[in-house]
Every structure is written in structure tokens, then in C-alpha cells.
């Protein structure tokens, strides 16, 4: 301690160049020693579990659980993926897998078919929208989560699976035997609403998303024959995915300006993406539909189009996941998913734990005080805080709200916030029961009428 004190006094006399490195080295040595003590603690606990736990344990399982606990203790989105989970994640981002080709939801404990995908085993076997899958290989789907049922239906190409289906109008269950094939899900589902409104629903952001979006817009423009009055981009219940795909989708509708930026712990790791010239919708008025299930990449797209006033955002507040996860493979041992940055909309807003607020709020159903609360990012344990009020430096200016909508008089007032009393319950197989969608369609028609032309460029 005498030597350290002498060094510190010398530094005080001749300047910090001597004192600071000495104290830093001492602090680093002290910190390193504490780290070694904690690692020894981990080893002691591990050995105690191996020797004394009531049942014999698998060393890999225990270590993987410890690693996962360490990562999940940071925030809700950091985690460890064992080799199988890592492969499943890669399948999802590639946008193809071995399976049947059915888009499904869950209803009354059973798996309900929303739609079979064209040219897939399910479509060829005659699976229909509205079918209820009650058994998979003779085992009831009651009690399974939707994800568990989906995992059972996926499998290697060429393998067989038996489904028992309950179909409206059929007195007896329908038994089908299908052979799995390579499935490329319709990540972009699209159609014309009434012949004049283009509707595209993006279900995820994987490697196929932006190309599928371009094909959808081209197809609908040809079908409409120059009569399009607007475009609806439906991002409801889209949990996100690849950042680069979100950037490309937003870029498809923007001619210039920032799309999104990310800021990490170190200032030099900040990144920014800007739009290139070219709007695949050629200036058609746009509505982006969001809800509490719109997260991450969906919020990047909605926030960029909202800040540039390229689209009107309609629906309810989004999930609020404003963090970026980097997948870091560990050779032979899966990968870790680690939160490495926050992302910000063009106006500098972090939506972490706050979400994207719609320009026009439209509810899917009438308010029900007994309905279960739907968790958002802010409700998750250890969710990162929002730092909008903390960035006041020249490099990180404070966030600003989006510019005003500047709509023609009366157009916004004609939007109905919630379904009428006694309106039919929402059924994903029946678009006419989708209140948010129908309001978006009518909004775009009213906007086109007020602007005096079907393809007048949107306000910027």
C-alpha cells in the first residue's frame, strides 16, 4: 500500500499520466481476482449438483441451463440456443422447412386451419380453411400448445403423417394421410379488396420477405389494371425477424432519408441505414396496420413509414421491442442470442418498452374489462429501459414526434374506432369480420375521393 500511495502522490504532483495507469492496473487486477473467485463458486456448485442431486444429471444439460440462465438474466431476449434450437432458428430465417403447408391458429383447444398453401401436400390432400385438426398420428391435439402441434406436423421431406379433421358439414371425422415436402410459407399473403385496394399481409421477416412483397405488389397492380386507390400493409401479429429485411421493406416505399439507426454500448458501433430512390407502390396512399403483436422488425417498418409520413399507421399500439439481437454461433455447441443495441426511428425515437403509437386508433373488438391483459415489452421481466429522455448530446439529439398527418378535411373523422354492438366476432377466414381492415379500406377510398384521383402521390 505504501508503494501505491507513493505512486498516487507522484501522479498528483506531476500529472495524471503516472497515477491513472497505476490505479487502473490495480483495479483491473482486483476485478480479475473477483471474477476468478466467482468462477470457482460456479465450479463448486456444479460439482455439488453432480455429487448430491437426488437423481443423476447430464453434465451438458446442467451447463446449458446455467448458460441460458446467465443470458436470460440480462433481458427477456438474450438466450442460449442448443444445436437443435439453432438449426430451428436457421430454418425460420431461411423461410423453408419440411412440413405440410398449412397456416394455422388455435380455437377451443384444437388447431384450426386458416388456409392451406397452394401446391403443398395439404392443398393436394384437400385440407380446407376452417378445418379443425383434432388428432395428429392418432394423438389428440387437445392440451398441446400451437407451437407443439406445429412441431409435430413438421418433419423430414418424404415422411408421412396422419391427420384427423373435423369439418363443418361432415358428420364423420375426415382421415388424411399426407407426405411431408419442402414448404416455402407464403410470408406475403395478398389480394385485392374490392378491386381497388391492394392488401398485403407480412407474417414474418425472413430471407424471402422483401422479394415476396415485390411479387405481391406487381401481381396486384396487373390485376387492378391501373385502378388502385391505395395499399394496406398488414403487420399485425408479425413478431419481426431479420433487420436487413425490415430495412429493405421500408426502403421499397421510401425515396430518400433515414430508415433506422442502431446504437450500441460503444459510440463507434452505431449504424444507420438510408433509403435509396424508388417506390414500388409509385406513391399510392398507404395504411400500415399494427397491433400489440407487431414487434421488432415490424416496428422498424411502421416507424420509418410513419416518421416520413409515407403511410398512415392504424390499429393499436405495438409491442415495443426496440432492441437488436445478434446471433453468435459457438462451433459445435449451438449459438447465443445476445442483445447488442437499441434501434431508433428516423426521428430519433426509441420505441423500446413504449411501442409505436398509431396515427389513428382502431380497435379490433369492443373493450371487454374481463378480457385477459396482453403482455407487451414493458411487462416483461428485466426489459431494457427506454432512453428517449436521456439522449441530449450532439451525437444523440433528443427524439421528436412524427410530423402531423395533414389529411383532407373529414377523412379521419369518418374512421370508426370500434366495431358496432352485436358485430360478428373476428374470424381470420372471413375478411368482412376484420374491423381494422375494413376501416383501413374505407379510409383509403375516402382519401382517394378527397384527393380527386386514385394514384395521386401521398403527402410527404
DSSP 205: B
Checking if the pLDDT of 204 tops 50, the result is yes
Checking if the pLDDT of 12 tops 50, the result is no
The residue-averaged pLDDT of 298-306 equals: 98
- The pLDDT score that the predictor gives to residue 26 is 52
Checking if the pLDDT of 144 tops 90, the result is no
Set of cell numbers at residue 30: 482486483
Query: What is the C-alpha separation between 163 and 178, in angstroms, rounded?
Result: 8
The residue-averaged pLDDT of 290-302 equals: 95
- The pLDDT score that the predictor gives to residue 375 is 82
* All residues at 6 or more sequence positions from 24 whose CB lies less than 8 Å from its CB, including other chains: none
**Reported pTM:** 0.78
The residue-averaged pLDDT of 110-119 equals: 82
Set of cell numbers at residue 415: 374512421
Checking if the pLDDT of 201 tops 70, the result is yes
Set of cell numbers at residue 58: 447430464
Query: What is the C-alpha separation between 135 and 138, in angstroms, rounded?
Result: 5
Closest by Cα among 122, 144, 124 to 134: 144
Find the radius of gyration of the CA atoms of the chain.
27
Strand runs (DSSP E) across 323-383, as ranges?
323-329, 335-344, 360-361
Query: What is the C-alpha separation between 323 and 243, in angstroms, rounded?
Result: 11
- pLDDT tens across 52-105, in order? 999 999 999 999 999 999 999 999 999 999 887 888 788 778 877 888 988 788
Query: What is the C-alpha separation between 283 and 251, in angstroms, rounded?
Result: 13
**Percent of the chain topping pLDDT 70:** 90
Catalytic site residues?
296, 307, 321
Set of cell numbers at residue 158: 418424404
215 neighbors 248 (Cβ within 8 angstroms): no
Residue 165 C-beta-side C-alpha neighbours within 13 Å: 22
For residue 115, what are the β-bridge partners? 103
Checking if the pLDDT of 7 tops 70, the result is no
Amino acid at each position: 500500500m505504501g508503494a501505491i500511495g507513493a505512486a498516487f502522490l507522484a501522479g498528483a504532483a506531476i500529472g495524471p499520466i503516472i497515477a491513472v495507469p497505476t490505479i487502473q492496473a490495480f483495479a483491473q487486477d482486483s476485478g480479475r481476482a473477483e471474477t476468478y473467485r466467482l468462477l470457482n463458486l460456479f465450479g463448486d456448485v456444479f460439482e455439488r449438483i453432480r455429487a448430491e442431486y437426488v437423481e443423476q444429471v447430464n453434465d451438458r444439460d446442467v451447463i446449458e441451463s446455467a448458460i441460458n440462465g446467465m443470458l436470460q438474466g440480462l433481458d427477456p431476449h438474450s438466450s442460449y440456443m442448443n444445436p437443435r434450437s439453432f438449426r430451428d432458428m436457421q430454418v425460420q430465417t431461411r423461410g423453408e422447412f419440411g412440413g405440410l403447408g398449412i397456416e394455422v391458429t388455435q380455437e377451443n383447444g384444437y388447431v384450426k386451419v386458416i388456409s392451406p398453401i397452394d401446391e403443398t401436400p395439404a392443398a393436394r390432400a384437400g385440407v380446407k380453411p376452417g378445418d379443425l385438426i383434432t388428432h395428429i398420428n392418432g394423438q389428440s391435439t387437445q392440451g398441446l400448445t400451437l407451437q407443439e402441434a406445429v412441431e409435430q406436423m413438421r418433419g423430414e421431406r418424404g415422411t408421412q403423417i396422419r391427420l384427423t379433421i373435423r369439418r363443418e358439414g361432415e358428420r364423420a371425422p375426415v382421415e388424411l394421410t399426407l407426405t411431408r415436402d419442402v414448404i416455402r410459407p407464403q410470408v406475403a399473403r395478398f389480394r385485392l379488396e374490392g378491386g381497388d385496394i391492394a392488401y398485403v399481409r407480412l407474417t414474418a421477416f425472413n430471407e424471402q420477405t422483401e422479394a415476396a412483397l415485390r411479387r405481391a405488389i406487381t401481381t396486384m397492380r396487373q390485376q387492378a389494371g391501373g385502378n388502385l386507390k391505395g395499399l394496406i400493409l398488414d403487420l399485425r401479429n408479425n413478431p419481426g425477424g431479420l433487420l436487413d429485411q425490415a430495412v429493405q421493406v421500408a426502403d421499397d416505399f421510401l425515396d430518400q432519408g433515414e430508415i433506422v439507426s442502431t446504437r450500441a454500448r460503444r459510440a463507434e458501433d452505431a449504424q444507420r441505414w438510408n433509403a435509396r430512390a424508388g417506390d414500388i407502390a409509385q406513391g399510392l396512399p398507404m395504411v400500415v396496420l399494427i397491433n400489440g403483436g407487431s414487434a421488432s422488425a415490424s416496428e422498424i417498418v411502421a416507424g420509418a413509414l410513419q416518421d416520413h409520413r409515407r403511410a398512415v399507421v392504424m390499429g393499436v399500439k405495438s409491442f415495443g421491442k426496440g432492441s437488436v439481437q445478434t446471433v453468435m454461433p459457438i462451433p459445435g455447441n449451438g449459438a447465443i442470442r445476445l442483445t447488442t443495441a437499441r434501434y431508433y426511428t428516423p426521428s430519433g425515437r426509441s420505441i423500446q418498452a413504449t411501442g409505436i403509437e398509431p396515427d389513428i386508433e382502431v380497435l379490433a373488438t369492443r373493450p371487454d374489462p374481463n378480457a385477459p391483459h396482453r403482455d407487451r415489452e414493458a411487462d416483461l421481466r428485466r426489459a431494457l429501459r427506454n432512453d428517449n429522455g436521456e439522449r441530449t448530446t450532439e451525437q444523440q439529439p433528443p427524439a421528436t414526434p412524427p410530423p402531423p398527418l395533414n389529411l383532407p378535411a373529414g377523412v379521419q373523422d369518418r374512421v370508426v374506432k370500434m366495431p358496432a354492438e352485436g358485430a360478428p366476432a373476428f374470424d381470420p377466414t372471413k375478411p368482412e369480420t376484420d374491423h381494422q381492415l375494413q376501416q383501413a379500406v374505407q379510409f383509403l377510398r375516402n382519401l382517394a375521393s378527397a384527393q380527386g384521383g386514385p394514384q395521386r402521390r401521398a403527402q410527404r
